[in-house]
Structure 1
């Protein structure tokens, strides 16, 4: 707190360091006064913040008594649907006769500016909650020590008392609604309408989404096919250095944290192709890069992703690559542990992108170009928890590769034939196999089968290729770029297939 700040007399903010005697009650219990101030200040910024925090904290979780008093005032104002700003809080505390006891009006106003970010209120509240849980465990420990020192102490009675203490603590947490079983609980209506299901995508459109908000994006492929090249373009778009990737819009972010664990020098050289001196200010402000191994693997520390994002004030985190972040990817239990880490980050508002490898070696991949989720290396739970999976097939260093959308949040994208410019670090869609280009070049229109033949090069495309072609053409009709003439039902000799034609709007747009 700055010099001259109004504040009630209190002991130092943090618990004492060093070894502590188990019976020394003079040592400060675990707490974090700064986190308590940040929580209260954040809650003054709006009622929604209070609703989020009160699902995590009970009034007794505040170590400082004056903080508990201010928290109760905030809850009272929220319960009456009144403003919760410093003026309203000070007025209520004054009427209650508590304003001087909490440090005065000046202190209440200073709390308003205490949190580095009001949007991180839940993170600060979790610090307060954990400190409160440690204090209660400490108190249980002291009581246990005291019981063992009483004359005629009975170990069975002590053990029973410990179990009672634990049961009471569990009931307290559940009854207050701030225990781990209810911290993220919402009612059904809020779940459907307020948990992000209707958010704009991070990359793509609502009809064809490559990366959905609140869901992870995984880019998979063999070494050298351009995973990092594609990922870098999305990252640079996220920080505002370009607007779209593969002709699909990318939503901006506040700050990206890039975990460059796999050959960071090569990652730096690859990114250097796309940036110049003019980009220095944005790169310094909006991109942070972690070089080399993490302090622990994500299966061992599931909160590490969230903690890293919070520490670097990032709303997007990129894992390059997944094999360096988890102890092993083939073990189902560890894959589930990673999914837990992934979901904790997403739940805390951190968007996640992952770069990963395919199951087979490049030589084997050359013989089997079949794009499928079972070709992604590791346990099936790795891909099961991902929101979107993009698979790049091709030869290492080949400028021409194919992008398959194996797991889709909405409509399927592609397959897209991509052209990498390895000199400039850019990727474009090859127009030769683009449905709109093929349609525009067909004066008599196309049937679904015609497009499937053109895209696959096969005289008899399989059912999956035909269905993909159908979806592509129908999406063009929906976008107003094509028209559809219904076919005629078959009889003797068969009928006629529906045909699609480029619309006047489409022709005008490309001309």
Structure 2
């Protein structure tokens, strides 16, 4: 604010806030938790804020060109300075991650303006009452009105029209049906972290989950399920390495009658890793989510999603916030992570919880780790590798994840009781 004769405001802060929203979905999500349109001092900025959010709802992320088109269609583009002004807003942004900081400044100025206005109204009513016949008789009413004015400053644009439901009203809504991605295994929006030591087969299991869900086959059996759109984001392996692994699984799926639909499985290889604490990488990720609209996203391993150790909740917060953006788009998020090195119990078994901040343990609905166990001698005379799927946190819902997995069946990992099923009679090879 530079002019003392004007109400408190900062055009620079408003421009920086809107510029961050125009280029970063991550920043926009945080800013919308801080501000409403009415917090902006300049009316044009209120219109731009509303248009940006309409674009985010329609396209899944910000887009300056689409924002200009919406403003033009509403007849507001010229009032907002035209398309060049949107480019000016973007140019003011030194770092999109600073957008929430500027949003707090905008909110602070807005609250101050409302407080000043409320104070003027309170003072005006006081003077008017003092000039009446009996000012003492109006004290209670003036006080109540003043309190309501101040509460209105606090609650500005707070949506308080929806009443808190009673137990009867709450249970009158029947929406308990599961929105299954894999019946009794994964529901839309679930978050899962799978851990394990080196060589336990967790990456193989991750690829198996992705491919079978895309193909329309239960991950641990041969029963058909509805094929889903799956996005694999591999931040460890090269394209060549991943292609070898997926080709074998894809060929096997076709052999047993589950060819993958052309648009069922999408692949992104980022062997250089990512940094989900950086706005640029979060924007890259959300652009793919908006374009592909996956039902399931497998991503990891965790240590490749940020180029530093995640030892505190503050360090974990931006990574988990970015992953929650995926979930907010209606997808299951399956995260691969390495287990900790510590040992537990008298036997000294490895701690299967993910390395790092305790926030990682509280984030998912389901947390499982693969633990090697003694191989089993099969009917073919070979020793079959076995792992236990061990929970390292309490499940938030009842699901039918297997307790033991064994190699040697139609898929790399199967439940032992499923190994006796002939893979070619389960659905019929094509």
Q: How far apart are residue 212 of structure 1 and its match?
A: 3.4
Confirm or deny that 1:404 pairs with 2:390. Answer: yes
- Taking the TM superposition and a 5 Å limit, the aligned residue runs for 1:29-428 are 61-62=46-47, 120=58, 123=61, 128=67, 164=109, 167-168=112-113, 175-176=156-157, 198-205=177-184, 210-239=185-214, 241-247=215-221, 252=226, 254-264=228-238, 265-276=240-251, 282=260, 284-293=262-271, 296-301=274-279, 303-304=282-283, 305-326=285-306, 327-360=308-341, 368=347, 370=349, 375-394=353-372, 399-407=385-393, 408-411=395-398, 413=400, 416-421=403-408, 425-428=411-414
Provide the rounded CA distance (Å) in 1 between the counterparts of 2:175 and 2:58: 17
Provide the rounded CA distance (Å) in 1 between the counterparts of 2:293 and 2:303: 25
Structure 1 runs not aligned, ≥5 long: 1-21, 24-28, 34-54, 72-114, 143-159, 434-511
Bigger relative CO (Cα 8 Å, ≥ 6 apart):
2
Q: How far apart are residue 266 of structure 1 and its match?
A: 3.4
Provide the rounded CA distance (Å) in 1 between the counterparts of 2:230 and 2:338: 22
Q: Tell whether the 8 Å contact from 2:21 to 2:62 is kept in structure 1 after alignment.
A: no
Q: Deviations over 1:167-203 (max 9, x none)?
A: 559999974469xxx9xx9876699898986433433
Q: Deviations over 1:194-245 (max 9, x none)?
A: 898643343342xxxx433222111111122221222222212321x24212
Q: Deviations over 1:247-278 (max 9, x none)?
A: 49786465222111112343332222211399
SS at structure 1 position matched to 2:203: helix
Give the alignment's TM-score, normalised by structure 1: 0.46
Provide the rounded CA distance (Å) in 1 between the counterparts of 2:241 and 2:298: 16
SS at structure 2 position matched to 1:276: helix
Q: Deviations over 1:280-324 (max 9, x none)?
A: 984642222111257841133384443331143333221131111
Q: 1:213 to 1:372 in 2, by over 3 A?
A: farther
Provide the rounded CA distance (Å) in 2 between the counterparts of 1:360 and 1:344: 30
Q: Tell whether the 8 Å contact from 1:420 to 1:426 is kept in structure 2 after alignment.
A: yes
Give the alignment's TM-score, normalised by structure 2: 0.53
Structure 2 runs not aligned, ≥5 long: 1-10, 13-17, 23-34, 72-79, 93-104, 116-151, 376-383, 420-430
Provide the rounded CA distance (Å) in 2 between the counterparts of 1:64 and 1:332: 31
Query: Higher mean Cα deviation, 56-65 or 287-296?
Result: 56-65
Q: Report the counterpart of residue 462 of structure 1 in structure 2.
A: none
Provide the rounded CA distance (Å) in 2 between the counterparts of 1:337 and 1:267: 28
Provide the rounded CA distance (Å) in 2 between the counterparts of 1:161 and 1:270: 51
Provide the rounded CA distance (Å) in 2 between the counterparts of 1:136 and 1:63: 9
Q: Tell whether the 8 Å contact from 2:234 to 2:269 is kept in structure 1 after alignment.
A: yes
Q: How far apart are residue 354 of structure 1 and its match?
A: 0.7
* Alignment RMSD (CA, Å): 5.7
Provide the rounded CA distance (Å) in 1 between the counterparts of 2:233 and 2:106: 48
Q: Tell whether the 8 Å contact from 1:31 to 1:63 is kept in structure 2 after alignment.
A: no
Q: Deviations over 1:119-155 (max 9, x none)?
A: 84664699859x98x979979x99xxxxxxxxxxxxx
Provide the rounded CA distance (Å) in 1 between the counterparts of 2:261 and 2:315: 34
* Aligned length, in residue pairs: 305
Q: Please say which structure displays the higher CA radius of gyration.
A: 1
